[in-house]
């Protein structure tokens, strides 16, 4: 028996590999930084080859987010001038530092490969399930663990009784959670409830309060996006979950609540506010163009990176901790406008089918977290949102085709009725 591969099989294989590589293979301990960089470089070369061989995809109709994908490739480029003028970082160094923006070609590559919507959903669900299960299981295998960005040697490894491995792929976990919660809200099937619980457990054990609160808020938004009796029934269910969680707060969240109260009392959380003020107002060169160009992304082994590392280690000021403010400091004001308009586009875009409306939630989620996590500069975040953009394109195309079919059927029915009336 021979296995015949067609374009769909190749496209599925490339997309699956792309999604997994974007998570650094869930930060598996055997993957060295060199291997990770090599895999990322290999995937960007693959994306370049796909779009170069099928350049007609840029002219194809139905790409709702084409302008945004192109702008995300272009808008960060002027910041290289800022890095050169203000921090003496060479253009080649900046080009290499910004290599991840090439992952925005994922959007065009998915269209070029013509991946079926159902296949892409399965890939994302598989990757999200792996992330959630790894995050959950390693809570019970400690001190043995194999997938992690943060180890016990680092600060805040254990917080509120949770081992915070910070495995890359949390966005895929959100997809798993929201997809199955939406399906459960519509169908009430037990399998979707089970996967919803696994997704929630993954987010809980991920160990960040902000992500957990944003995920729960988005579950409410999912319910509000439903229609009719389905919405009201699930609002009652959500109300019951909130009451249950409140009743069990001493069991589920006692250490988390105690930690939050302690941080409020001791002003531990003020460091994020100080970081925000520093990168919003202070960390700028004396130039009228600085806020337009941005400071640029720091490259490895440069004085610019050493300076940022000093602020982080000595003063606790991390640019990556202040979300859109950090992005503003890095890429300038045009990038902020681009991000805000992009999220607004995803939130306001019209999707009529109740089966596909859950896709809008993946623009609400980053919007809620925008002040602490901008999320569109890492391979994981870029590949993930490109997949969501592609799924929305396919859903809108399906709705338009369905509408055309209904019009043709109505016209055919009308034409058949006219002779009978005569």
Q: Report helix angle 379-421 to 117-137, nearest 10.
A: 140
Angle at 124 between CA 112 and CA 169, to 5 degrees: 115
Q: Is the pTM of this model over 0.85?
A: yes
CA distances to 271, 277, 280, 318 from 274, rounded to whole Å, are 5, 5, 10, 10
Could you report the per-residue pLDDT of 5-39, keeping only the tens digit for each? 467 888 899 999 999 999 989 988 888 889 989 99
Query: Other C-beta atoms within 10 Å of 224: how many?
Result: 11
Q: Averaged over 47-54, what is the pLDDT?
A: 92
| CB contact at 8 A, 115 and 12 | yes
Which pLDDT score is estimated for 2?
42
Q: Averaged over 384-410, what is the pLDDT?
A: 84
Q: Averaged over 42-64, what is the pLDDT?
A: 90
Three-state SS annotation for the chain: CCCCCCHHHHHHHHHHHHHHHHCHHHHECCCCHHHHHHHHHHHHHHHHHHHHHCHHHHHCCCCCCHHHHHHHHHCCCCHHHHHHHHHCCCHHHHHHHCHHHHHHHHHHHHHHHCCCHHHHHHHHHHHHHHHHHHHHHCCCCCCCCCECCCCCCCCCCEECCEECCCCCCHHHHHHHHHHHHHHHHHHCCHHHHHHHHHHHHHHHHHCCHHHHHHHHHHHHHHHHCCCHHHHHHHHHHHHHHHHHHHHCHHHHCHHHHHHHHHHHHHCCCHHHHHHHHHHHHHCCCCCCCHHHHCCCCCCCCCHHHHHHHHHHHHHCCCHHHHHHHHHHHHHCHHHHHHHHHHHHHHHHCCCCCCCCHHHHHHHHHHHHCCCCCCCCCCHHHHHHHHHHHHHHHHHHHHHHHHHHHHHHHHHHHHHHHHHHHC
Which pLDDT score is estimated for 38?
92
Q: How far apart are CA 295 and CA 79, in angstroms?
A: 6
Q: Please, is 5 exposed, middle or buried when counting C-beta atoms within 10 Å of its C-beta (0-12, 13-18, 19+)?
A: exposed
Q: How far apart are CA 200 and CA 274, in angstroms?
A: 31
Torsion over CA of 237, 243, 247 and 248, rounded to 10 degrees? Answer: 50
Q: How many residues are listed for the chain in this entry?
A: 422
Q: Please, is 261 exposed, middle or buried when counting C-beta atoms within 10 Å of its C-beta (0-12, 13-18, 19+)?
A: exposed
Highest mean pLDDT among 199-208, 303-312, 352-361, 408-417: 303-312
More confident position, 364 or 150: 364
Q: Which of 36-45, 118-127, 256-265, 412-421 has the least mean pLDDT?
A: 256-265
Q: Examine the pLDDT at 346 and tell me if it is beyond 70.
A: yes
Q: Examine the pLDDT at 161 and tell me if it is beyond 80.
A: no
Could you report the per-residue pLDDT of 311-343, keeping only the tens digit for each? 988 888 989 889 899 999 999 999 999 999 999
Beta bridge partners of 147: 28
| CB contact at 8 A, 47 and 103 | yes
Percent of the chain with pLDDT over 70: 86
Which pLDDT score is estimated for 249?
57
Which pLDDT score is estimated for 154?
66
Which pLDDT score is estimated for 5?
47
pLDDT classification of 1: cutoffs 50, 70, 90: very low
Which pLDDT score is estimated for 4?
47
């Amino acid at each position: 028996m021979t296995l015949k591969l067609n374009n769909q099989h190749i496209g599925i294989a490339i997309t699956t590999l792309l999604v997994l590589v974007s998570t650094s293979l869930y930060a598996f301990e055997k993957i060295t930084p060199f291997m990770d960089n090599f895999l990322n470089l290999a995937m960007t070369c693959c994306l370049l080859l796909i779009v170069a061989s099928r350049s007609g995809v840029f002219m194809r109709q139905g790409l709702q987010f084409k302008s945004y994908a192109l702008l995300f490739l272009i808008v960060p480029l002027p910041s290289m001038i800022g890095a050169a003028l203000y921090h003496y970082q060479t253009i080649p160094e900046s080009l290499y530092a910004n290599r991840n923006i090439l992952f925005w070609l994922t959007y065009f590559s998915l269209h070029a490969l013509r991946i079926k919507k159902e296949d892409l959903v399965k890939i994302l669900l598989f990757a999200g399930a792996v992330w959630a299960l790894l995050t959950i299981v390693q809570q019970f295998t400690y001190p043995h663990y194999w997938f992690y960005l943060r180890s016990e040697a680092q600060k805040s490894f254990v917080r509120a009784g949770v081992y915070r491995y910070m495995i890359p792929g949390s966005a895929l976990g959100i997809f798993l959670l929201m997809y199955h919660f939406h399906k459960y809200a519509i169908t009430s099937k037990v399998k979707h409830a089970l996967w919803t619980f696994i997704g929630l457990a993954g987010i809980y054990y991920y160990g960040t309060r902000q992500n957990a609160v944003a995920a729960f808020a988005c579950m409410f938004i999912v319910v509000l996006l439903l229609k009719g009796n389905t919405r009201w029934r699930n609002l009652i269910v959500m109300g019951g979950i909130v009451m249950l969680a409140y009743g069990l707060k001493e069991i589920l969240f006692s250490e988390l609540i105690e930690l939050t109260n302690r941080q409020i009392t001791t002003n531990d959380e003020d460091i994020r506010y100080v970081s925000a003020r520093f990168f919003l107002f202070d960390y700028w060169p004396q130039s009228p163009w600085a806020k337009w160009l941005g400071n640029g992304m720091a490259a490895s082994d440069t004085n610019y990176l050493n300076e940022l590392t000093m602020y982080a280690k000595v003063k606790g000021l991390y640019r990556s901790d202040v979300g859109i403010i950090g992005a503003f400091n890095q890429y300038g004001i045009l990038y902020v406008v681009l991000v805000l308009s992009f999220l607004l586009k995803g939130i306001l875009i019209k999707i009529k089918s109740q089966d596909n409306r859950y896709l809008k939630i993946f623009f609400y989620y980053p919007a809620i977290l925008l002040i602490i996590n901008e999320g569109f500069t890492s391979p994981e975040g870029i590949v993930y949102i490109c997949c969501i953009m592609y799924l929305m394109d396919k859903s809108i195309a399906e709705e338009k085709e369905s509408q055309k079919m209904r019009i043709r059927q109505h016209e055919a029915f009308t034409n058949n009725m006219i002779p009978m009336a005569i």
